[in-house]
Structure 1
Amino acid sequence: MSEMIYFDHAATTPVHPRVVEVMTPYLTQVFGNPSSVHGFGRKARQALEQARDAIARYLDADPQSLIFTSGGTEADNMAVIGGALAHQEKGRHVITTQIEHHAVLHACEYLQNLGFEITYLPVDDTGSVRMSDLINAVRDDTVLVSIMYGNNEVGTIQPIEEIGRFLQERSIVFHTDAVQAFGVLPLSMRELPVDMLSVSAHKINGPKGVGALYLRKNTAFSPLLHGGSQERKRRAGTENLAGIVGFAEAVRIASEERVERVAKYKEIKETMLTIWREAGIRYQVNGHPEHVMPHILNVSFLGIQTETMLMNMDLASIAASSGSACTSGSLELSHVLKAMNLGDERAHSAIRFSFGITNSVEEAARAAGKVAQIVKRLQKE
C-alpha cells in the first residue's frame, strides 16, 4: 500500500515537531500547578501567562480577554450558554444559523430546554447568511447571536464584520466560531466587531484537548464550570499547561507561515480542479465561489454516493471526509448541505478535501489524478 495522502486537516492536523519539542519539558520537568504559590507553581504560572500573551498578540487582543478551554466545543458552549444565561434578564431570544457546528447547535438546543427561543437563520445555495434574514430575525428580546466565521464543511466565509457592526448598534452580544478560520485568515479583535470568539489548537498543528474563548472586556458572562478561581474565575479547573504551551507555539508557527500556507492551499485547490476539469468528469464545487476558506474544497462527484467514493479513495490511499468529523461516523446527510438546498444528487455525493502543512502541490496533483480515475470508473457503472 502506497503512503496515505491526508486531505482531512479540517478534522484534525498532525502536531508540528516544534510544538512537541516545546511541550515536552512541561510534561516532565515544569509540572507545577499554576495556582500554587511555591517555586514550581510560579514557574508554571509564568509559562501559562507567556503562552496567553503569545496567542493574544496573534489575535490583536488583550491577554486578559482569553480564557483557556479544553477545545473549540467547550469554547462554543461557554459562549452560547454562558452568554445567553448572563443576559436572560434582558431577554431569552438567541439567533444562530442552520449550518453551525454541532457544538453551537446542541448548545442552543440546551438553551431551548431552559425556555429560550432560538431562531435558526437559513442560508443560500452558497452557504451564506443573508443580512436581510438576520435583520428581520432580530427582536427587542434578542440577547445573543452566534454565527460561524468560516464553515467547516464547505468553507463559506460569512460577512462577520457587517453582521457585527449591525449588532453593535443594537447592543446585542455577538459570538463567532472561528475554529476553522483561526491560523488561516487574519483575525484582529481590535478591528473585528465581535464580543466572543472560539478557537482550537488541534486545527493548527497544536495538541488536541486545548482551545480558547476570547471574551471582550465588560461582556457579561456566566461560567459553566465551578470549583476553582482559575482563568480569572471564568473557567474552573487546573489548566492544561503543556497543551497551552503547545497551543502558543502552534500559533507562532501559523503566524510566521500563514501567507505561504494560504498561497499553497490555493494552488493545491486550483491544481485539483484543473485536473478534474481536463479529465472531463462530472463534478460540482459546493460553497461560495469567492468568500471561501483557502484550505477547504467541498466537491460533489455526481452520481456517486459519498460513502462509495470515500471507500474507493481510502483503497487508493487518499483520506478525505464527508464533512464534519463529529458526524461523519453516521450515514446521515450533512445538515450543512441540507440547509444549502443543493438537491439530493449533490448532497449525497459530496466529499470534503481539506489541506494542511503536510500537503504539497505535487501530492495533490497525484491524488487528483487517482480521484479522476475512480470517478470515471464509478460514473460509468
Structure 2
Amino acid sequence: MPLDHENVIYLDNNATTRVAPEVVETMLPYLSNYYGNPSSMHNFGGQVGAALKDARASVAELIGAAPEEIVFTSCGTESDSTAILSALCTFPEKRHIVTTRVEHPAVKSLCENLDTLTGRKHRITWLPVESDGTLDLEQFRQSLTEDTAIVSVMWANNETGVIFPVEEMAQIAHDHGVLFHTDAVQAVGKVPINLKETAIDFLSLSGHKLHAPKGIGVLYVKKGTPYVPFLNGGHQENGRRGGTENVASIIGLGKACQMAAANMEEENTRVKALRDKLEKGLLENIPKALLNGHKDKRLPNTANISFEYVEGEAILLHMNQLNICASSGSACTSGSLEPSHVLRAMGVPFTAAHGSIRFSLSVYNTEQEVDFVIEKMPSIIANLRALSPFWEEE
C-alpha cells in the first residue's frame, strides 16, 4: 500500500518537491479537454499555444528575463548539457572549461566524459572550495585563459545549499571574453534572481525543484548569446529545441513560477526560521554533530549535518521507520560506501562525511514536524553509535 503523504514528514525538497495542488489544477485541462498541438494552424491548437505563451512569460518574470530568452527543455540536465555543448560548438577552437569540484553530476559527468562524447580533447579546470564550501574568486579569475570556451558554476550547491557569487563570476568571465553558465536548479524560487542585471549567458532550472512536475526544465539564453541547439527537429522554441512541447507540464511550471514569486518572502523568513530551529536543535542535542557549509551564505531551506561515527544510510533507515524523509551525503556504489564528492572537496573528515544528512525544507513544512525530528534524532544517533566500534562518548 502506498504511504499516505499526510503521514510523511518530507524534508527532502532538494531532491524533488511536492507538485502544488494549484499546479495540478492548472495542468488538468491540458491533459484532457485542451489536447491540441500548439503548433497547429487551427484555433483549437492556437489556444494551447496562447497558454504556452503565458507560461513562458511567468517563467521569465520569476528570473528577470525576457520571454524570448526562455527555452523549454525536459529537465535541468538537458539544459546544462545544451549550454555547455553549445559553447563548444560555437567556439570549436577553444578546448578549456572552468567548473567546480562540487557541481551536480549533470555538469560533473558531462565534463568528465566530454572527450568521449565529442571525439576531441578538452581541458577541465576543477575549482576547489574552502572548508565552508565557498569559492576563491581570485583563483577563479586566474583560471581563465584565451582557450576558455565556457564557465559553468552552480548558483547554489544541492547538498550544502552554499550560494556561489555567480553574478560577480559572470562579469569576470565576460571581462575575459568567456561565456558563463549557471546551474540554478536549487536557487530558482528560493533566492531573488534578476538576470537583466547580470552578465549570465545561460541559466538552467528544473520544474520539480519548485513544486512543478518532473520532466520539465528551462534553459535561459541571454539575448545575443551565440547558441547551437542540442535537439534538432521542428521549429519549436523558435528553432532552439526540437520536439513537440510538453504542454501540460509547461503550463504547470508557469503556475509554479507565479507561486514561487509570491512565496519568496516566506521561503526567506518562515522556512529559514524552521531550518535554523532544526539545525540548532540537532547541533545542541547531539554530540559530535557538525554543520557542513557556510553558516550564512546558504539557501534558506537547506541544512547538511554530519553525525560522526555513524553511516548516513543507517540513519536514513531509522528515520524512514518514523516516516521522516531526508537524504544522505554519501552514496552506495557496488557494495562500498563512497563519501559525497562535495564533502570530500570541502575536506570534511572521513569519520563525519559518511554520516551526513541533508535536510531540505519547503513552504509545506511545519514547526510541529521540525519539533518531531528534533525529538527523535538524538536517540537514533545514540543507538547507532552504541553499535559502532569507533564511537567513544566523551
- 1:75-224 alignment runs, 5 A limit: 75-89=79-93, 91-113=94-116, 114=118, 115-224=121-230
Question: Residue 260 in 1 paired to residue 266 in 2?
Answer: yes
Shift of 1:62: 1.0
Q: Does 1:315 align with 2:321?
A: yes
Q: Provide closer, same or farther for how the CA distance between residues 255 and 330 of structure 1 changes in structure 2, counting only shifts above 3 A.
A: farther
Q: Partner of 1:46 in structure 2?
A: 50
If the length of structure 2 is used for normalisation, what is the TM-score? 0.92
Aligned pair count reads 380
**Cα distance change of structure 1 residues 96 and 280 upon mapping to structure 2, 3 Å threshold:** closer
What residue identity is the alignment partner of 1:92?
A: R
- Pairing 1:233–2:239 present: yes
Alignment check: 8 A CA contact 1:153 1:324 kept: no
Alignment correspondent of 1:357:
363
**Map of 1:376 onto structure 2:** 382
- Separation in structure 2 between the aligned mates of residue 344 and residue 278 of structure 1, nearest angstrom: 22
In structure 1, what is the equivalent of residue 29 of structure 2?
25
CA distance in 1, matches of 2:374, 2:186: 23
Residue 303 of structure 1: CA displacement?
1.3
Of 273, 277, 280, the match for 2:279: 273
Q: Secondary structure at the match of 1:220?
A: coil
Structure 2, unaligned stretches of length 5 or more? 388-394
Provide the rounded CA distance (Å) in 2 between the counterparts of 1:211 and 1:133.
Answer: 32
In 2, distance between residues paired with 1:162 and 1:261?
24
The Cα offsets for residues 22-80 of structure 1, whole Å up to 9 and x where unpaired, read as: 10011111111111111122111111111101111111111101000001111111111
> Aligned equivalents of 1:309 and 1:378: distance in 2?
8
Shift of 1:280: 4.6
What percentage of aligned pairs have identical amino acids? 41
CA distance in 1 between counterparts of 2:252 and 2:129 reads 36
Task: Give the C-alpha shift of residue 290 in structure 1.
Answer: 1.2
**Matched letter for residue 97 of structure 1:** T
Match of 1:250 in 2: 256
Residue among 63, 72, 93 paired with 1:68: 72
Distance 2:172 2:331 in 1: 33
Opposite residue 15 of structure 1, the aligned amino acid is: V
- 1:16 pairs, out of 6, 14, 20, with 20
Moved more, 197-206 or 339-348: 339-348
Q: Which amino acid is the alignment partner of residue 49 of structure 2?
A: R
